[in-house]
């Protein structure tokens, strides 16, 4: 599959990092929001053309969301700086390709 990789959302990363670093209730809300995934998946689906490619492969929006949640920990690692944006996105693509 060929997927257009969006530019790294640096502002979003910084916002998530602040929320995660503050801890407490914000930590739980931030982790749940990151895991839920619409902050990224909606953009990939609508703005970067993933929708058509995924649908051609028989992957629905619901399945795409499930695949994201299976590897959301990569985006936590991107936020904390242990992996790059390209690594996090590549891991999501690999998760999708395993469905083929």
- The 10s digit of each residue's pLDDT in 26-42 is 778 889 999 999 999 99
d(CA 57, CA 8): 26
DSSP letter, residue 80: T
Confidence tier at 56 by pLDDT (50, 70, 90)? very high
Determine the 3-state secondary structure of 1 from DSSP: coil
Token pair recorded at residue 2: 């060929």
pLDDT (mean) for 78-89: 97
Query: Residues of the chain with pLDDT > 70: what percent?
Result: 98
Distances (CA, A) of 55 to 21, 71, 76, 98: 37, 20, 27, 15
Q: Is the pLDDT of residue 58 over 80?
A: yes
Per-residue model confidence (pLDDT) at position 23: 77
Q: Considering the chain, what is the average pLDDT of its residues? A: 93
């Amino acid at each position: 599959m060929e997927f257009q990789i969006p530019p790294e959302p640096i502002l979003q990363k910084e916002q998530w990092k602040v929320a995660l670093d503050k801890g407490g209730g914000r930590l739980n809300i931030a982790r749940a929001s990151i895991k839920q995934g619409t902050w990224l998946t909606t953009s990939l689906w609508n703005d970067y053309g993933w929708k058509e490619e995924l649908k051609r492969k028989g992957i629905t929006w619901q399945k795409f969301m499930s695949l994201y949640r299976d590897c959301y920990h990569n985006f936590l690692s991107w936020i904390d700086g242990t992996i790059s944006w390209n690594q996090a996105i590549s891991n999501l693509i690999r998760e999708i390709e395993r469905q083929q």
